[in-house]
Amino acid sequence: MNLNRISPSQLNLLVKDEADFLLIDLRENYELEIDGKIDYSIHIPLEELVDRLNELPSDRPVVFHCSSGKRSENILNFLIINDLHKENYFNLDGGYQAITI
């Protein structure tokens, strides 16, 4: 199984088209305090994600991001290796730093 990716411009199109998707912010609390967060995102700190996978929908895209895209890529690879990955999971290339919404 390959890691699904989404570019910032593709994310912008989802927002513009008012698509039904979920944006999960995996950053630490202190990162949100410093940089803020996207209003429509849901914050699930990285260390909580595996325990909260049951909260994620399987019927619409779920886009994960961290600050630069590396941690979210790593956790999705972890989910793939451990058969916890779903086809509707995507990594945002470049992470929060790349978002221009």
CATH code, domain carrying 79? 3.40.250.10
In this predicted structure, what is the pLDDT of residue 24? 97
Q: Digits of tens for pLDDT over the chain (101 positions)?
A: 689 999 999 999 999 999 999 999 999 999 999 999 998 999 999 999 999 999 999 999 999 999 999 999 999 999 999 999 999 999 999 999 998 54
In this predicted structure, what is the pLDDT of residue 8? 94
Residue carrying the six token digits 């979210």: 72
Instruction: List the domain range (segments joined by +) for residue 57.
Output: 5-98
Question: Dihedral angle at the C-alpha atoms of 7, 72, 56, 16, nearest 10 degrees?
Answer: -20
Residue carrying the six token digits 């590396």: 70
Backbone angles phi, psi at 40, to 5 degrees: -90, 5
Residue 18 to residue 30: CA distance in whole angstroms: 29
pTM: 0.93
Structural domains counted in the chain:
1
* Cβ contact 44:52 at 8 Å: yes
